[in-house]
Chains A and B, each alone.
Chain A
Amino acid sequence: EAGVAQSPRYKIIEKRQSVAFWCNPISGHATLYWYQQILGQGPKLLIQFQNNGVVDDSQLPKDRFSAERLKGVDSTLKIQPAKLEDSAVYLCASSWGQAGEKLFFGSGTQLSVL
């Protein structure tokens, strides 16, 4: 079975620029998550989708971050404008059905904001 695909693998931008990350979950997985992982810390949940609806975005900085899940499959996460503190790895994960079950993670996008 193909895993969770993410692109790009690395991205370097200057502060105040915008950036977008893409995620293709495992086929058939209903739940999709975006996590932010700052160096030395555990992943922090930004947003959770169930099919194409948002279940939880309470920790998403909505003044600069946005996310969508197209037709309940692929998802994009955007940051506009980026700040230095957004430097992190952005991880996408998916799971079969309801939340709380086994997550499958992609390799992540490493973002450096200069």
Chain B
Amino acid sequence: SQQGEEDPQALSIQEGENATMNCSYKTSINNLQWYRQNSGRGLVHLILIRSNEREKHSGRLRVTLDTSKKSSSLLITASRAADTASYFCAPAGSARQLTFGSGTQLTVLP
């Protein structure tokens, strides 16, 4: 299995601003997933992008995937205080196991 590495480790923005988080991985993937974790809770699935897709949208979320660079980005537009959480990417390779990095801690200030 392979692990995604999120960047930056921490991000602090004002409410209404956009937040961008990046993920890099090392080997080929079948899909890549993004999850959110609020403090003291389990992870919640946000979006899954398959290896043959380049961009996907879900509400205020936009995910891009560049398989040639082995990277993905998650954009949250018009952020809200409720978006404060840790965000994890999980690349799923041929073994189809999901392995998580240390995440990006996003703080949205009111």
Binding site for B on A (CB under 8 A): 4, 33, 35, 40-45, 48, 56, 91, 93, 98-108, 110
Contacts and interface: CB of A to CB of B under 8 A. Distances in A.
A105 B98 CA distance: 13
Contacts of A106: 42
B30 interface: yes
A108 B88 contact: no
Contact of A107 (B30, B41, B97, B103): B41
Contact of A43 (B31, B44, B45, B100): B100
A50 to B, nearest CB: 10
A108 B41 CA distance: 7
Contacts of A102: 33, 45, 48
A85 B42 CA distance: 21
A45 B49 CA distance: 21
A45 B45 contact: no
B18 interface: no
A45 B98 contact: yes
B52 interface: no
A107 B42 contact: yes
A45 B42 CA distance: 14
Contact of B97 (A42, A99, A104, A110): A99
